[in-house]
């Protein structure tokens, strides 16, 4: 099965970040931040991280314009102003981004998506991009300093987190559909076009 990794740069020292990539044989970073700059870790500003990676022979590709999660278009928002990941997954630019990832895999690149949040669970790389990729039989592995967490493991965390909000409807052993809990997570983390807050 084809594999794509993800990583959040957080406030790691660059050397530690690159070591994580090397330890997982990553040779290509795809930056999925809508705004490729960091208030708290300027070493991850687009030009800076691109140069650091180049020195270590790791390719940097910016795709935040295709796979980012910040939108103002009302057609892509919930009524409360938050970005609706399902609607984003249907637009051409997102689909083009996915196609580029698939072509990269075929060409033999070992890809990791990069966003800013350390926790994939709190990031659109899990709830928007990886959710979509996993339906295309792509194995998603999320990189942390001392472990790798699969998309399936995060889905179990997702189900557990929203267990109390499940409407059992009186059915024995009823399980909330995974799509429904993904939407709950979407609502909790998505960029809000009104408040300008949330994952981008």
CATH architecture of 3-189: Alpha-Beta Complex (3.90)
pLDDT, position 165: 66
Helix (H) or strand (E) holding 14: helix 14-23
| Alpha carbons 138 and 2: distance in angstroms, whole number | 5
pLDDT digits (tens, 9 = 90+) for 173-183: 455 678 889 99
Question: Quick one: pLDDT at residue 30?
Answer: 98
User: How high is the pLDDT of residue 40?
Assistant: 87
148-182: per-residue pLDDT in tens?
Answer: 999 999 999 998 898 776 554 444 445 567 888 99
Q: Which residues contact 157 (CB under 8 A, 6 or more apart)?
A: 121
User: In the predicted model, what is the mean pLDDT of residues 38-51?
Assistant: 94
Cα pseudo-dihedral 113, 119, 123, 129, rounded to 10: 40
Mean of per-residue pLDDT scores for the chain: 93
What letter does residue 24 receive in the DSSP assignment? T
Give me the mean pLDDT over the 111-117 stretch. Answer: 97
CB 113 within 8 A of CB 120: no
The SS3 of residue 126 is helix
pLDDT band of 81, cuts 50, 70, 90: very high
The answer to whether residues 32 and 124 touch, using CB atoms and an 8 Å cutoff, is yes
Q: Which residues pair with 192 in a beta bridge?
A: 82, 197
| pTM of the predicted structure, to 2 decimals | 0.93
Domain ranges of the chain: 3-189
Q: Give the position of tokens 């300008």.
A: 196
pLDDT of residue 38: 87
């Amino acid at each position: 099965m084809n594999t794509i990794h993800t990583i959040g740069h957080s406030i790691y020292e660059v050397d530690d970040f690159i070591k994580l990539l090397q330890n997982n044989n990553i040779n290509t970073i795809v930056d999925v931040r809508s705004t490729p700059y960091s208030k708290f870790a300027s070493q991850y500003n687009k030009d800076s991280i691109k140069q650091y990676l180049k020195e270590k022979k790791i390719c940097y590709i910016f795709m935040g314009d295709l796979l980012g999660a910040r939108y103002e278009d009302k057609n892509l928002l919930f009524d409360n102003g938050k970005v609706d990941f399902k609607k984003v997954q249907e637009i051409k630019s997102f689909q083009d981004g996915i196609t580029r990832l698939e072509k990269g895999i075929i060409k033999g690149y070992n890809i990791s998506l990069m966003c800013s949040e350390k926790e994939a669970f709190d990031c659109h790389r899990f709830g928007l991009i990886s959710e979509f990729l996993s339906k295309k039989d792509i194995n998603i592995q999320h990189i942390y300093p001392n472990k790798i967490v699969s998309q399936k493991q995060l889905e179990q965390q997702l189900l557990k987190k929203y267990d109390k909000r499940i409407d059992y409807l009186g059915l024995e052993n009823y399980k909330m559909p995974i799509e429904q809990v993904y939407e709950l997570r979407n609502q909790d983390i998505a960029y809000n076009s009104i408040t300008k807050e949330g994952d981008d």
